[in-house]
Chain A
Amino acid sequence: MKRHVRASNLMLHSITRVVTFVLLAFSIYLFFAGHNNPGGGFIGGLMTASALLLMYLGFDMKRIKKALPFNFTTMIAVGLLVALFTGVSSMLFGYPFLTQFFDYYDLPVLGTTELSTALPFDLGIYLVVVAIALTIILAIAEDDS
């Protein structure tokens, strides 16, 4: 809104750099924790969106656009497709739409881990939420009239 004030705001810049990482990490934690603890795709997505938003607030639009070369409207579609694909994939094996599966695997670093198809579905939600939040806010912010 008042862009000229932000011209040389060293404090804000430095804090933003640090806090953004903390927020992003927390949002990723929330996303992965969803299955067993409070959290999940929705709140994780909102948290990621707020981290990115903080970047937009700390720096100017142009620079962040360069740093994050995403088209958020495309991301909405990608998120929806991911969620839809998880649903459809169970149909390929003869199960009803959106039947979820899980199993335990021994992974190299993580040890015995549970992998479930609920995760990609949650990823779809996550992507949609991030993209929607940023689409709305950026659209309003870029509106000059």
Chain B
Amino acid sequence: MSVLHLAILLPLLAAPFIPFLFRAVKRIHTGWFVLVVPTLLFVYFFRYIGITSDGGVVTETVRWMPSLGINFTAYVDGLGLLFALLITGIGALVVLYSIYYLNKDKESLGHFYVYLLLFMGAMLGVVLSDNMVVMYMFWELTSISSFLLIGYWYEKERSRYGAQKSMLITVFGGLSMLGGIVLLESMVGSFSIREMVANQAVIVDSPFFIPAMILILLGAFTKSAQFPFHIWLPDAMEAPTPVSAYLHSATMVKAGLYLVARMSPVFQESSLWLWIIVSFGTFTLFWGSFNAVKQTDLKGILAYSTVSQLGLIMSLLGLGAAALHYDGVDDNIFMVATIAAIFHLINHATFKGSLFMMVGIVDHETGTRDIRKLGGLMTVMPITFTIAVIGSLSMAGLPPFNGFLSKEMFLKATTKVFSADFFALDTIGLLIPVVAFIASVFTFVYSLIIFTRTFMGKAQFDKLPKQPHEAPIGMLIPPAILAVLVVVLGFIPNVLSNTLIRPAVESIYPSLVEGGQAVEVDLYFWHGITPELLMTIGIVALGTVLFFTLNKWMGIYNRVPYRLTLNGMYDGSLVWSNKAAYRFKDNYMTGFIRSYLIYIFVFMSGMLLFSMWWYEMFSFSFGEMAEVTPYEYVLGAVVVLSAFAILFMRSRLPAIILLGVVGYGVALFFVFFEAPDLALTQLVIETVSVALFLLVFYHMPEIGKKEARMRFKVGNAIVAVLVGITVMMLSFMTLSNKSISSISEYYKENVYDLAAGKNMVNVVLVDFRGFDTLFEIIVLAVAGLGIYTMIKFRTTAQRTKGEDEHGHEAKK
């Protein structure tokens, strides 16, 4: 257990103490204690920058299940460290923000911070684990803790709905990912990601390459809210705003991006990888930005905006895979895609975090997040307004903010597809910059909506639940820090390039780095009149036009009926699967023993006949059969006739007596076949059971006694005949395929010498096989005691309630 392990597990270790602190220290907001954890971790991880920026990695292993190859291997490289810093840094800001956001007297903070710390620890585990099973474990812990956080206000129905939706979708993806992990392990023989990267050639040649890739991508796409799995993210906005800011903008939704980046060295040789990621990412980029415009809830806009930006980063990660195939070694233009992806990942975390916190402030101070009610807050909340403007413009990709830089790099990367002469990128790839351009226009529109509708325009304070005023300073600090970062990173982006971005990009291209290609990250503000700058000007122009004509074209959103939307299909499928399962169950679980007996009999006969046919066991030989005597013919006829006659009896009494005839007939058979002990026992037992049958008959209600003879049912007859034939065939088959001689010779020879008895049956029962007998008398004892208790200890309730009524109730 190294310090690194302790650091990863620190949030998880701290979590159990939170409820006690919450209860013991009432005077101080519990968040202050929690704040220590991410701050410490941030400082701790900050020190790793020195190691990773020189290309170094830190690996520490704790043996967990070595026999299964599952060890907790902490692995810090550029990519992992970048995420760790995001998680702890934004985590600290979010905790600080939540101290002012959540009321310590009204909210159950004990729960909130436990969930949040669980989540933080889980995220750290995901990004710093080298072992994929351990990573999967942390991955699912993020799903669970985010489920708990989304459903934090569990008395609200929408919260529960959102929590369930996100749980179903992300766990679906998580389980798919587990499948992919298992497939990868079967190819490489190790769960370690580094091993997989090292054996990348083996994986690419394996027939399971594509299934494994798709399964892993399912996990990444569901977690990162890619189309069509993005639908959980807008519903997760029911969570408290600090949670939305932390989970649904900066960290958890980026776990999928992390996974894609992490697995890129394994999969990116394949063109399928590039195409899947780029097409899903690009479409998500468009779809998210398109849908964000129609939202009226500020958090809804931000949710779709997050979806869109995640799609952007995803498609950049996909485009980055092209770098491996690009021949112009000296200036690898596709490398810029990955650099842009990493840079935008950081930028998005900063501006989206600040925007969420800004929305939280607006919600907190006015009581609503509906843009139709808000307006004119600029004068009342100037600081919040400033933060909103910086965040929105950065999101829209305008200078001088950091969003502009990453957006430019994105556009540059998309326009570069024309110069690629592989994977048909130069032809079909034409769509990529077009879609990117359209999506950017919509991004510009909704970014404008966010701050103009909230802060500008006519003030309508009378519609607001609360009288608005500026937020307390503590609530403003975290978004202000993020906004400052947005500006600082916009002006001097190169502080990041060698410390965070280059190490991260290098860990995505281990093969290129080994091949001697240098990853050069040089971020600078002005790069002359380039095509992407012209595109940005076009975006701003078109976006402005669209923004001012918004009312004219909003109608297109209502064209699609709800049933056909993705949310409609999700809800429909939930209802449908529930209904279908019930219908399926109701169809065969009829509640009648008759039906179940038919299933059992048909299955049994079917399986037996099928296996007899399959193994060609239908060869019967009757050579070893003994001769049948006339007595046996007569007796056989009597038994068969009386058994058959039972079916046609009008009343039950003759049926019971005929059953007795069958029993005594069998006893006679035992006599013929020289089994005196059996004959004796059969006679007595048959007598007793007929007497018991008569007793039951005597106590039957009048209706049952009068019932006419059994109704004929074709299905039952067929099943009965089938079972009869099956059993007959089985007996003939076993008789004619006897391959092992009987053990009875041994008994015959030794019965007197070893056991001093002449009655072999009895000696077998009490001596050779006495153990069976011991348990048979126990069976008898249990049966007897059962009958005794059933009769003697009936409760009064059962006695008063009619059997029918009871049965009816039970069925309901």
Contacts and interface: CB of A to CB of B under 8 A. Distances in A.
B791 A118 contact: no
A97 B770 CA distance: 10
A121 B788 contact: no
B571 interface: no
Contact of B766 (A1, A40, A135): A40
B771 A46 contact: no
Contacts of A145: 794, 799
Interface residues of B, number: 38
A48 to B, nearest CB: 11
B172 to A, nearest CB: 54
Given A121-B770, A143-B791, A35 B756 contact: yes
A114 interface: yes
Interface of B: 676-677, 680-681, 684-685, 688, 692, 695, 698, 755-759, 761-763, 765-767, 770-771, 773-774, 777-778, 780-781, 783-785, 787-788, 791-792, 794, 799
Given A121-B770, A132-B781, A135-B784, 15 more contacts: A36-B757, A40-B759, A43-B680, A43-B684, A79-B781, A87-B770, A97-B771, A100-B755, A100-B766, A102-B755, A122-B766, A132-B784, A136-B787, A139-B792, A145-B794
B766 A43 contact: no
6 contacts: A1-B698, A38-B761, A39-B680, A40-B766, A132-B781, A140-B791
A42 B774 CA distance: 12
A135 B791 CA distance: 11
Nearest to A104: B756
A20 interface: no
Interface of A: 1, 30, 33-43, 46-47, 50, 73, 76-77, 79-80, 83-84, 87, 97-98, 100, 102, 114, 116, 118, 121-122, 124-125, 128-129, 131-133, 135-136, 139-140, 142-143, 145
B685 A46 contact: yes
Nearest to A43: B680
A114 B785 CA distance: 35
Given A100-B767, A102-B755, A136-B784, A129 B777 contact: yes
B672 to A, nearest CB: 15
B799 A35 contact: no
A100 to B, nearest CB: 5
Contact of B788 (A36, A47, A136): A136
Contact of B757 (A77, A118, A125, A143): A118
A50 B766 contact: no
A133 B771 CA distance: 22
B778 A80 contact: yes
A122 B704 CA distance: 43
Given A135-B787, A139-B792, A46 B681 contact: yes
A135 B786 CA distance: 10
Contacts of B677: 38-40, 43
Contacts of A43: 677, 680-681, 684
Contact of B780 (A33, A98, A100, A129): A129
A73 B780 CA distance: 12
B773 to A, nearest CB: 7
Given A46-B681, A143-B791, A35 B758 contact: yes
Contacts of A42: 681, 765
A140 B766 contact: no
B788 A34 contact: no
B766 A37 contact: no
Cβ-closest 4 pairs across A and B: A38-B676, A132-B784, A36-B758, A35-B757
A128 B782 CA distance: 11
Contacts of A35: 756-759, 762-763
Contacts of A84: 774
B753 to A, nearest CB: 11
B777 A83 contact: yes
B784 A80 contact: no
A76 B784 contact: yes
Contacts of B792: 139
A44 to B, nearest CB: 10
